[in-house]
Amino acid sequence: MSEPLVKVESVSVTLGGTSVLSEVSLDLAPGRITTLIGPNGAGKSTLARLVLGLVTPDQGTVVRRRGLRVGYMPQHLNIDDSLPLTVDRFLWLGASGPTAARRAALERAGVAHLRRRAVQKLSGGEMQRVLLARALLRKPDLLVLDEPAQGVDVAGQNALYGLLKDVRDELGCAILLISHDLHLVMAATDEVICLQRHVCCSGSPETVSRDPAYHELFGPTAGTPNLALYTHDHDHDHDLDGNAHHHHHDHEGPCNHD
């Protein structure tokens, strides 16, 4: 495996007196797709923000390769109405270059018709696609997407994941995806990391798919080749206040550790 773009090593983050992440490690290498899954409040967004350099760890280290070009697609973005800004200008802020490049990026994200629209007039889904176009336009080494499949139907997710796979193949970039869905992840994912303040388990979807329960659930996704089902049972204990017991695992596969 080539040199990681970002190396997160036994990082702990405490926000407002609450431990959000503890002893988390993560490597993002070129050409690899990593999906973070976990329940709400599991620290997925914090881990992504750590990778992006928006959060500094209380313990541990985050090493980013010098000159790393990052494309980031946040969940949503609110832009003040007082700022007159078209989609085209918004993209220009992310990466200067010819209009044709911006048009092509929008085309790719399936929103070419929105180029002259004011950003404030976009729906949530349209804004997400515009953000994706802006991220792609930067030709990133690392692409971070926060819940890209949120509010998108299964066919839409399939199309989106197909696009991301093409982008990865084309640019050879690393992709970090956050998914709130514990069951549906991108089939092309090289690694699935399940987070519950610590890394409970991680592994390739293939490893995961050997789980008999996975086959049981496979039916409904037939015909959507970019989606994989992943079953996950939280059969280890977490305290009521959410503090997980500190059992750290480097094994691959579903979260069965009894």
Partner 1 sequence: MPTTITTTMKAPATMIELLLPPLLAGLAVALVSGPMGAFVVWRRMAFFGDTLAHGALLGAALGLALDISLYVGVVAMCLGLAAALTALQHQRQLASDTLLGIVAHTTLALGVIAISLQTGIQVDLFAYLFGDLLAVGWQEVVGLWAGALVILAMMVWQWRALLSITVNEELAQVEGVAVQRTRLLLMLLLALLIAGAIRTVGVLLITSLLVIPAASARRLTHTPAQMAIVASVLGTLSVLAGLTVSWFANTPVGPSIVVAASGLFMLTLLRKTS
Shortest Cβ 200–partner 1 spacing (Å): 27
Interaction between residue 155 and partner 1 (CB under 8 A):
no
Backbone angles phi, psi at 198, to 5 degrees: -125, 170
Which neighbouring-strand residues pair with 239? none
**Residue 15 interacts with partner 1 (CB under 8 A)?**
no
Q: Is 130 in the site for partner 1 (CB under 8 A)?
A: no
- Does position 96 bind partner 1 by CB under 8 A? yes
Closer to partner 1 by CB, 116 or 246: give it: 116
Binder of partner 1 out of 44, 64, 138, 180 (CB under 8 A): 138
Pick one of 17, 84, 98, 212: the residue that binds partner 1 (CB under 8 A): 84
Binding residue for partner 1 (CB under 8 A) from 22, 35, 90, 111? 90
d(CA 231, CA 100): 43
Q: Is 93 in the site for partner 1 (CB under 8 A)?
A: yes
- Enumerate residues 184-223 that contact partner 1 by CB under 8 A: none
Phi, psi of 163 (to 5 degrees): -65, -45
Residue with tokens 């996975």: 214
Strands (DSSP E) found in the chain: 6-15, 18-28, 33-37, 59-64, 70-73, 142-146, 174-179, 184-186, 191-196, 198-203, 227-229
- Estimate to the nearest angstrom the gap between the alpha carbon of 52 and the chain centroid: 11
By the rule CB under 8 A, 229 interacts with partner 1: no
Is the separation of the CB atoms in 151 and 124 below 8 Å?
yes
What is the size of the binding site for partner 1 (CB under 8 A)?
A: 23
Q: Per the structure block, which two tokens stand in for 61?
A: 């280290």
Q: Verify binding: residue 97, partner 1, rule CB under 8 A.
A: no
**C-alpha span between 193 and 27 (Å, rounded):** 11
Q: What is the rounded distance in angstroms from the CA atom of residue 168 to the CA atom of residue 71? A: 12
Using CB under 8 A as the binding rule, whether residue 118 contacts partner 1 is answered as yes
Binding region for partner 1 (CB under 8 A): 52-54, 69-70, 72, 74, 77, 79-80, 82-86, 89-90, 93-94, 96, 118, 138, 144
